[in-house]
């Protein structure tokens, strides 16, 4: 059991201690009793973790890692047009390597929940397999919700709907998209 003391706890005006057991908050208040370890926060602010509700972990850092300069125009539309050519080269390991870099960036800034928009218009489900593995492997560090995202379109891409359905069967949490 750990006790964090002398903190300014957002939303708990009269509290200055947090009691944690095996990573789970057991109490917030004052004079919470003894603990195996006491950590003095020195008056620092304690807030809830951040949430990133829309992150493409399968795309993160891909252009630079693949030796490309990126979209010459600097527009999202050009990057989206370039993506199909790059996803053909991806492997589960290459996606995981770059996604881990992105996840570490997020966690280092206080993000604890990520909604990972994952392209499922790859019939091999390369990125989806990587994200499903990470969801389990990193569950003690960050919560990842895997979104089956039909980048090329659910209805405009031949077989898109079937790919989305298969992604859900494989373990994607929800379906996402844009209009």
Task: Count Cβ atoms below 10 Å from residue 59 Cβ, excluding itself.
Answer: 23
Contact 156, 129 (CB under 8 A): no
DSSP 6: S
Report the pLDDT value the prediction gives residue 1, as an integer from 0 to 100: 94
Token pair belonging to 56: 């493409």
Contact 128, 98 (CB under 8 A): no
List alpha helices for 41-159, DSSP H: 62-65, 76-87, 92-108, 126-137
Report the pLDDT value the prediction gives residue 142, as an integer from 0 to 100: 95
Q: Determine the topology of domain 50-175 in CATH.
A: TIM Barrel (3.20.20)
Q: How far is residue 58's CA from residue 92's CA, in Å, rounded to a whole number?
A: 10
CA distance from start to end of the chain: 48
Residue 136 CB contacts under 8 Å (≥ 6 apart), including other chains:
none
Report the pLDDT value the prediction gives residue 179, as an integer from 0 to 100: 40
Report the pLDDT value the prediction gives residue 71, as an integer from 0 to 100: 65
DSSP 3-state of 138: coil
DSSP 3-state of 51: strand
Token pair belonging to 48: 């809830």
Per-block mean pLDDT, blocks of 10 residues, the chain (179 long): 96 94 90 95 93 92 65 73 79 94 94 95 94 96 95 88 97 82
Do strands 37-40 and 2-5 pair parallel, antiparallel, or not at all (unpaired)? Answer: parallel
Report the pLDDT value the prediction gives residue 55, as an integer from 0 to 100: 93
pTM (predicted TM-score) = 0.78
């Amino acid at each position: 059991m750990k006790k964090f003391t002398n903190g300014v706890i957002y939303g708990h005006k009269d509290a200055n201690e947090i009691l944690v057991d095996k990573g789970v908050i057991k109490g917030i208040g004052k004079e919470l009793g003894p603990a195996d370890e006491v950590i003095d926060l020195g008056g620092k602010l304690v807030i809830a973790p951040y949430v990133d509700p829309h992150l493409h972990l399968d795309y993160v850092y891909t252009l630079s890692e693949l030796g490309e300069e990126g979209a010459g125009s600097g527009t999202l539309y050009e990057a989206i047009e370039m993506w199909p050519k790059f996803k053909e080269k991806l492997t589960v390991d290459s996606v995981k390597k770059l996604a881990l870099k992105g996840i570490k960036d997020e966690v280092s800034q206080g993000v604890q929940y990520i909604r990972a928009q994952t392209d499922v218009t790859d019939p091999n489900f390369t990125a989806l397999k990587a994200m499903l593995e990470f969801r389990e492997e990193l569950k003690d560090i960050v919560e990842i919700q895997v979104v089956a995202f039909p980048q090329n379109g659910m209805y405009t891409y031949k077989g898109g709907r079937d790919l989305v359905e298969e992604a859900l069967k494989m373990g994607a949490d929800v379906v996402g998209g844009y209009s």
